[in-house]
Structure 1
């Protein structure tokens, strides 16, 4: 019988501070992404950009995102998350400040490519760093607290950034996010020490559910490539791809849709634009809590993680589909907000599921590759949306096509995931040991 370490289940004050800093890290990262969407109308007017060009602005952000996510995971495994995260945020700040000098479409593209490169590893490194400080039975909620920094940061900052854009010009919002990043770096380096990168190296028996322990023992620690090519990883990454398609469409296009198609006033826009991000915060906390309870009760990755993740993605597909057809502005806002809300659940339960299934030795690289594959949705989604908006009979029609396409992608990912993600059935450790003796 696996013994529980009761000390591991209690979180220290310092642990809570680290989790809070990682919460702020994901908040800053997402605000840096979202500010471009809030400023879309004035930027397009000033630089004379078409919808298709604006879609390209959203897509190029993820051009190097995938590669840097992988590279960041490798660096974190080698040098530790503390220094890699700090260097990453330094780059964010420099890019945000450089936006002061943007005066052309090409310059804007360069800043978005470089910012995407800097932010590629952010989410996976935050999840990896947080998992080192959290006991297994509290990872779902703990990672969720870190993750909700993304939507909650946008919800809180949206009125502030829109006010800055309206009163001081769109560049002021970028400078403000850069200043916040500088403050965060100082706090991170002061609280987290180099020795803290060794946290989380616990005995595998204490860190796995009983039904999954035999599988880990039978799986060689060097099996990184075989895991990357496994059905489980591919399907989890597909769910992430669908999530990022929905997520980046929300970041880059929904504020534009609300202002140009639904014709919301500036005052209403400041309120409504924060609505989906508040819902996402509540959703991530609620579903991660449900997932943790089921996982604790059943000791099953499938019942506790997969059977929460995939049905929620399917619910997101339904909301996007009917939101695209809604004739009432209020109903469209509610349904599209719910579609975005349910569509981003993979941000928490994807990494949480991978932590249970991936080899312990390769956690950083696995999370990095997960973000690399999922961020491909961020490359394709914004551009396809811009293409549909520009080449349809009207902007409203183009947006409706884009929302329905997003619904289809969420439907495929959620449907395949719910029937296909299963822990691999392998031989018991005792059987493998016996076979090895026979070979000798």
Structure 2
């Protein structure tokens, strides 16, 4: 019975694959601006601080739209909301080709952020409905790795388009891909309704997880806030990688175009591999211990601290190779919350509230994307040299990963976590 519960249907894997492609496209769309930073800054005459603003405004409406998108998905279904948001950001990609000023660029980034705000939360919500808890780590990872793979896969292609045909060609390409994905999604995807057995299982176990079943209790709990702060640190790191790392490698480390095309993809490949490895470890620990603390939190905390150490030393070393390795590891380990955070929340919050809680998680997490790129640009412009500015920015990012990752590791202890095994047992009996 237990083995049957842990299996994943073929249809579920098809949906997960489509959601994987969704995150591939979403993150390729985000990454273009980083790949094209040098020619765009040169054409529009932007300063480092202005470019930091370009990176930050993307997340200006990102948080709000994540919350609204998650709530809307709980009411009308994730399928429709996902299709609508992809349409929005694909249209924006086309409109970006007409950018001729700093203000116009900011407007396109704000609208794109609003369109992409709900994407990750909705992908996690949709995927979690098709997955048993023992498979959440690896299942959600299969969706999440579309993010780093989206950057890794698109990096050489987009860099080639930018260098050969101008930066606008890359935006046209991603816009076309977005519309093609919508057609496939509307054709294949079906809403998965909550079954009577799932509702019965949740009702039978409501006395066990009453606090977690109340949305407001979960939203304002210490545990959720600390996990969200960990996500904040992750997005600070993630957006620095998107918006500033290619610029750093080209202007400070002086990598040539051929090397740059390869190196900019390295961190995102490493993120993919690390998320698969750590989520598999997490699933096995969770399956063995039936504990969200031992199976999820004790994986998340140490990995975040490893990312902090890598960032701290990455910009200090003189060797280009060592710098690339350390900064890639910092970005790699810092992204683990994108998988572990949603998996933890599935254990803490009622099924019917998953869209809302995942939306709020991404809303608070994405605030790191507002602050991180701007602070990095500020350091670069106001330090003695760009190299010094990048060093300060990377070390600050490491400190934030250290503090918030440490808080999760040491302080997140769900009061009902010891009862999650009983909850799972009740669910398995019903199923």
Taking structure 2 as the reference length, what is the TM-score of the superposition?
0.94
1:75: how far off?
0.3
Match for 2:320 among 315, 329, 346? 329
Q: 2: CA distance between counterparts of 1:293 and 1:201?
A: 29
Structure 1 residues 349 and 391: alpha-carbon distance in aligned structure 2, compared to 1, 3 A threshold:
same
1:254 aligns with 2:245: yes
Q: 1: CA distance between counterparts of 2:370 and 2:207?
A: 35
Aligned equivalent of 1:433: none
1:389 aligns with 2:386: no
How do 1:235-384 residues align onto structure 2 when only pairs under 5 Å count? 235-384=226-375
SS of the equivalent of 2:129 reads helix
Query: Deviations for 1:313-360, whole angstroms, at most 9, x for unmatched residues?
Result: 000000001112111111011000000000000000000001101122
Q: 1: CA distance between counterparts of 2:60 and 2:142?
A: 28
Aligned equivalent of 2:109: 112
Aligned equivalent of 2:422: none
Is the Cα contact below 8 Å between 1:215 and 1:427 reproduced in 2? no
Aligned equivalent of 1:103: 100
How do 1:25-424 residues align onto structure 2 when only pairs under 5 Å count? 25-193=22-190, 196-199=191-194, 202-203=197-198, 216-219=208-211, 221=213, 223-424=214-415
Q: 2: CA distance between counterparts of 1:426 and 1:235?
A: 16
Q: 1: CA distance between counterparts of 2:390 and 2:295?
A: 35
1:8: how far off?
3.8
Aligned equivalent of 2:429: none
Query: Deviations for 1:248-275, whole angstroms, at most 9, x for unmatched residues?
Result: 0000000000000000001000000000
Is the Cα contact below 8 Å between 1:70 and 1:369 reproduced in 2? yes
TM-align CA RMSD: 1.9
Structure 1 residues 33 and 366: alpha-carbon distance in aligned structure 2, compared to 1, 3 A threshold:
same
Of stretches 411-420 and 355-364 in structure 1, the one that deviates more from structure 2 is 355-364
Aligned equivalent of 1:432: none
1:361: how far off?
2.4
Is the Cα contact below 8 Å between 2:239 and 2:373 reproduced in 1? yes
Q: 2: CA distance between counterparts of 1:31 and 1:149?
A: 9
Is the Cα contact below 8 Å between 1:58 and 1:383 reproduced in 2? yes
| Structure 2: segments with no counterpart, 5+ residues | 420-431
Aligned equivalent of 1:16: 13
Is the Cα contact below 8 Å between 1:215 and 1:426 reproduced in 2? no
Q: 2: CA distance between counterparts of 1:329 and 1:122?
A: 35
Query: Deviations for 1:290-328, whole angstroms, at most 9, x for unmatched residues?
Result: 000000000000000000011100000000011121111
Q: 2: CA distance between counterparts of 1:31 and 1:68?
A: 20
Q: 2: CA distance between counterparts of 1:69 and 1:347?
A: 15
Structure 1 residues 112 and 215: alpha-carbon distance in aligned structure 2, compared to 1, 3 A threshold:
farther
| Structure 1: segments with no counterpart, 5+ residues | 429-440
Is the Cα contact below 8 Å between 2:24 and 2:150 reproduced in 1? yes
1:13: how far off?
2.2
Structure 1 residues 198 and 339: alpha-carbon distance in aligned structure 2, compared to 1, 3 A threshold:
same
1:219: how far off?
3.0
Is the Cα contact below 8 Å between 2:291 and 2:417 reproduced in 1? no
Is the Cα contact below 8 Å between 1:215 and 1:424 reproduced in 2? no
Q: 2: CA distance between counterparts of 1:426 and 1:131?
A: 19
Q: 2: CA distance between counterparts of 1:396 and 1:130?
A: 42
1:128: how far off?
0.2
Q: 1: CA distance between counterparts of 2:363 and 2:28?
A: 20
Structure 1 residues 325 and 131: alpha-carbon distance in aligned structure 2, compared to 1, 3 A threshold:
same
1:207: how far off?
7.8
Q: 2: CA distance between counterparts of 1:288 and 1:423?
A: 20
